[in-house]
């Protein structure tokens, strides 16, 4: 990687100095120019390139063809963004119609542009659209919870454990219902979604969960703007963590650790209105 400042065009405005998170771009000792020092610390975020008004920051990771002028005229108004956020719902009434490939790729692209800790970009995205693979993921999830429920509901275990861990029994009875619904073909897990977006990271990524869920939110809002329903697959994610090591990864065809999973589908209908979300009074949001 190489990074330098083109002094002939640089106007020494100092914007690149202000935005560089690694302190690499600094004012020269005479205070009249800008220079790049300790470039081995660069995390490749591109802030210096993007903020420069004269294109004077020359970075080998960002050649001219990869740098684009922001078209402010295409940006949504704040009111439009808030309307999208307010009206987004986890619509579980899905049709069997497949999601267009172009829409899926836009959803993934939006996820890719989410920030990551230290710009590590150690986040991967796997789309599952094959019906048989989707069925196997649902089977796996139901199997994990059915096995857990049988253990928790054993009379001896229940008597000893429930007083100590009542939280474990919140869904225990529901697990049995889910198993019956699944066997009846009602798909209580994936809700007949035609695609899953699995966001996964290396196990060594300290901020993998945070990075993945930032990406999830980007993908969720893009999906909503495209008219695609999206549902957070908490049960699938929990089963992946509770099941045998790497069992879910093998079924899903991923590497690393699943951190967030989104079910996607074409909705049977759109919500014509949204309800206001009351503010909490306990200081938690």
Residue range 141-182, pLDDT digits in tens? 999 998 887 877 778 887 888 887 877 777 777 888 899 999
Q: Is the Cβ–Cβ distance between 202 and 257 less than 8 Å?
A: yes
How confident is residue 284, by pLDDT bands cut at 50, 70 and 90?
Answer: low
In the predicted model, is pLDDT for residue 27 greater than 70? yes
Structure tokens given for 49: 């390139």
In the predicted model, is pLDDT for residue 281 greater than 90? no
Q: Is the Cβ–Cβ distance between 255 and 200 less than 8 Å?
A: yes
pLDDT at 285: 59
Sign of the C-alpha dihedral computed for residues 189, 191, 195 and 198 taken in this order: negative
pLDDT at 175: 84
User: What's CA 120's distance to the chain center, in Å?
Assistant: 15
pLDDT at 167: 76
Q: What is the pTM of this model?
A: 0.90
In the predicted model, is pLDDT for residue 73 greater than 80? yes
pLDDT at 174: 80
25 against 29, higher pLDDT:
25
Q: Is the Cβ–Cβ distance between 263 and 237 less than 8 Å?
A: no
Q: Which of 100, 92, 99, 84 is nearest to 231 (CA)?
A: 92
> Distance between CA 6 and CA 27 in Å, rounded?
13
Q: Per residue in 86-117, pLDDT tens?
A: 999 999 999 999 999 999 999 999 999 999 99
């Amino acid at each position: 990687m190489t990074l330098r400042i083109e002094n002939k065009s640089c106007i020494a405005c100092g914007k690149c100095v202000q935005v560089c998170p690694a302190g690499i771009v600094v004012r020269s000792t005479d205070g009249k120019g800008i220079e790049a020092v300790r470039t081995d610390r660069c995390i490749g975020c591109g802030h210096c390139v993007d903020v420069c008004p004269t294109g004077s920051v020359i970075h080998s990771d960002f050649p001219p063809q990869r740098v684009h002028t922001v078209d402010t005229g295409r940006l949504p108004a704040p009111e439009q963004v808030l309307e999208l956020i307010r009206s987004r719902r986890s619509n579980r009434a899905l049709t069997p119609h497949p999601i267009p490939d172009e829409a899926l790729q836009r959803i993934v692209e939006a996820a890719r542009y989410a920030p990551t800790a230290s710009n590590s970009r150690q986040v991967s995205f796997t789309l599952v659209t094959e019906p048989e693979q989707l069925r196997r993921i649902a089977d796996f999830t139901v199997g994990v919870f059915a096995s857990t429920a049988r253990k928790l509901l054993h009379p001896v275990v229940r008597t000893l454990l429930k007083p100590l861990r009542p939280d474990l029994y919140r869904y225990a009875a529901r697990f049995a219902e889910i198993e019956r619904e699944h066997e009846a073909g009602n798909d209580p897990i994936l809700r007949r979604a035609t695609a899953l977006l699995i966001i996964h990271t290396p196990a060594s990524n300290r901020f993998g969960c945070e990075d993945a869920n930032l990406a999830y939110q980007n993908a969720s809002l893009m999906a909503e703007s495209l008219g695609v329903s999206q549902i957070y697959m908490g049960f699938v994610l929990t089963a992946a963590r509770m099941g045998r090591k790497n069992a879910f990864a093998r079924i899903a065809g991923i590497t690393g650790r699943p951190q967030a999973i989104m079910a996607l589908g074409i909705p049977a209908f759109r919500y014509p209105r949204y309800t206001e979300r009351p503010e909490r009074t306990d200081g938690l949001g």
